[in-house]
Amino acid sequence: MGGAFWTILSIILVLLWIGVMYLWFMIRHFRREPLVDPKNGLRLLTVLGSGGHTTEMLDLLKHFNDEAYSNRTYVVADTDNHSERKALESEQARHSGTFVVEKIPRSREVGQSYLTSVFTTAYASLHAFIIVSRIRPSIVLVNGPGTCVPVAISAALLDMLRVANTRIVYVESICRVERLSLTAAILYYSGLADDVIVQWPQLKDTYPRVRTLDEMS
Amino acid sequence: MSSTCFVTVGSTRFDSLTNEILSDAALTALKKLGVTKVSIQLGSGEFEAKRFEEIFGSLCDHDSGSAVFAGLKIDFYRYKPSIAEDLADAKFVIGHAGAGTVIECLRLKKPLIVVVNELLMDNHQAELAAKLADLNHVLYCVPSDLTQTMLDSRLFTLQPYALPEMAKVARHIDRLMGVPA
């Protein structure tokens, strides 16, 4: 009897604690408090991936100042040599700061069974968590490859635990005209992303909290 | 003014498109448009054997080829590291719904016919092409309607599309992060 009581009590306390951490996270991020001293440079972590994601992300990153974002991490799937090469090419145009390419295993290969993909996803997520906790990025910038989900969730968790101060920004692909991608929707509805930026303004009718380019000066 | 029509299928194959462009009706339409050369990026696809032989003869090499047929120069290859030059040289482009090709054509202000593959269900890239077609930035069709679409007078009066400015997004993120302007 006593054992059951303490078990239930501790489960309730843990759930409460998680709830409080989540709420505190939401409040802090909603207030958009100034993050860090930009003089020291920001740690940027991004996820690249095939299917146009890499091209779109590097197109955006071209406009990022290499002094302000002085520590850059590119996360790629370990089988994605193309994205790694593109990341290296884009870094050649930069003049300051440091960068690193981190590889994580693919969570699911095309045609892989769902049962084994549970394990490979867990394994990939663990990798993502280790990388994010080592880097403790100031910003996680993602645009949709599957691997970006565990990366973004790891970053949010570490921020909730106050191990890191991280902003999470999702930039939706120009291909998404009517609906958000699954990844974007996860980050939008969970509130984990500070901003979900979309390229087609009518998406705001369906998802009022997204940011459109028209709203940016 | 260039008189090349460039056909591109991207990284896989799209045989119903690459066969359609070699049909008599399509070649006649191309000549009507003043095209003198058709260049086809074939991907991993194959042309229909009988038509291939009619045009290219008994060519052994199925990875690239060139021929003059029905008054048109026709050549094909499978892949290139970059198709940027082919896009830039073209009078107009016929392409699959891949976002990369579509966006590059918009950037270059090239008239573009996006051909959608009906066999690929739930192809979210087609969403972009359909929207751009609604807004009169590209033409959009299935392979069997290609000839008719090429002869659509709107092909050369499409509206230029102002691509979203990624610099704006970067400045927005700068503000979020507290990076001084």
Q: Tell me the pLDDT tens digit for each residue of B94-113.
A: 999 888 889 999 999 999 99
| C-beta atoms of A62 and B165 within 8 A | no
Nearest to B169 among A34, A173, A197 (CB): A197
Tokens standing for residue A78: 């370990």
pLDDT at A110: 65
Question: What is the average pLDDT score of chain B?
Answer: 91
pLDDT at B117: 85
Q: Tell me the pLDDT tens digit for each residue of A81-111.
A: 989 999 999 999 999 999 999 999 876 666 7
Question: What is the average pLDDT score of chain A?
Answer: 91
pLDDT of B14 > 90? The answer is yes
Q: What is the dihedral of CA B83, B84, B85, B87, to 10 degrees?
A: 90
A42–B contact, CB cutoff 8 A: yes
pLDDT at B60: 67
- Say how far apart CA A130 and CA A151 lie, in whole Å: 10
Chain B residues with CB-CB distance to A38 below 8 A: 177-180
| C-beta atoms of B128 and A213 within 8 A | no
pLDDT at A38: 57
- Say how far apart CA B5 and CA A203 lie, in whole Å: 35
pLDDT of B123 > 70? The answer is no
- List Cα–Cα distances, A95 to A98, A106, A124, A135, in angstroms: 9, 31, 32, 21
Q: Which residues contact B145 (CB under 8 A, 6 or more apart)?
A: none
Q: Tell me the pLDDT tens digit for each residue of A48-94.
A: 987 788 989 999 999 999 999 999 999 999 888 989 999 999 999 99
Q: What is the fold, at CATH topology level, of the domain defined by B4-177?
A: Rossmann fold (3.40.50)
CB pairs under 8 A between A and B: 82
Most B CBs within 10 Å, among A37, A42, A175, to test the B interface: A175
